[in-house]
Amino acid sequence: MMRTSCLLVAGMIVTGCVATADGPDTAGESDAAEALQAAPFFGGDTANHAEFAADVSVWETPLAQSQMDCFWDSGVRHVIVGTQDALVAKQQLAMAVSRGMTVDAYVYLYWDRDVTAQIEAAFAMVQGFPIGRMWLDIEQDPKGLGSNTLIPMIQHGLTTCAAHAGVTCGIYTGPGWWKTYLANTTAFTAVPLWYAQYNKKRSLTDWSTEHFGGWSSPVAKQFQTAPLCAVGGADWNVMQVSATPTVSVDRTVPADTHLPPVAPANLFPTSSLVVPIDYVKLMSGTVPRATQYQLALERYTGVAWAVYYTWANANAYAKISPPATAALYRFRARAQNAYGWGAWSDYVTFDYGHYTGLRP
């Protein structure tokens, strides 16, 4: 589950763009230029009442509505979000919930840090979201710590987690780690298990030959890591889900109005947000029947707004890394359909880095 990948990406195909003299970063996810393609539909492990679930982390960046809807079209009904970064985790959870998904969260445990503090920080990030389970991600190299030390630490983590009412606590791990570092202990068989076995076998029934740790059965299996809807590091799982959906999304395409599209809504970053990371992912909600979007970014010079760049693609997002790391930006979006370009949205203004200069 844990990945260490670079946040910068290759150049994106863009059209109809203009730039200022200081030179824009035209980097973006190359897949954004063409309409996203859903994976062949997978309805989960129905024999074991397990849904197709995708887990994501800070490395997968904030997720666009077009990406989450592509998840849905691929069969995903449940999303598990990593708690490495509050800004990203909250956006991913909010997007998943808004598009009708159920959600969980996980906390990657480091053995050289206070376990209680890590778990409490994870719960703080997900406060207000309808997670069903908090998973303790147990896969970090213990660097010499033995089972007699690790087992009490895990138990302490579970006790800390269980103090949060309304959320079930589970363990994510793999058979190799469990057998190597915990001597295949059977001390946690009462705790829900989500295990990783990258053999592309998509059924919990395979537990009969893949079992470890004394569990009679798992509730989830992570069977592969593969790109999904231009989310390059998504993990694919089957999972018996304990959460229930809180949002119902009507995906019926509305009647054709024979008019250009309305202005996109739900822009991200939201107004007044401070983006402290080394990229920004400009996104808007999608509009029924729209086939193209433009995201127009401007930078404040301290005197006036200056046109920076306009990205055009089919999926209403662009991931970029402007060279000015302490600047004030604003952007807006519009959509195109068979009848032309629609109206621009209102601007949203955000800080990229810790901007301390003059404001409009």
pLDDT tens sequence across 4-29: 332 222 222 223 333 333 456 554 44
What is the bridge-based pairing of β-strands 220-225 and 235-239? antiparallel
Q: How far apart (Å, rounded) are the C-alpha atoms in residues 210 and 181?
A: 18
| Segments of the chain assigned to CATH 3.20.20.80 | 49-239
pLDDT tens sequence across 42-96: 999 999 999 999 999 999 999 999 999 999 999 999 999 999 999 999 999 999 9
- Residue 39 exposure: Cα atoms within 13 Å on the Cβ side: 20
pLDDT exceeds 70 at position 275: yes
| pLDDT given for residue 26 in this prediction | 53
CATH class name, domain 7-36+255-360? mainly beta
Percent of the chain with pLDDT over 90: 89
CB 93 within 8 A of CB 67: no
Q: What is the CATH number of domain 49-239?
A: 3.20.20.80
Which residues is 310 bridged to in the sheet? 296
| Segments of the chain assigned to CATH 2.60.40.10 | 7-36+255-360
pLDDT tens sequence across 124-180: 999 999 999 999 999 999 999 999 999 999 999 999 999 999 999 999 999 999 999
Tokens of 162: 């269980």
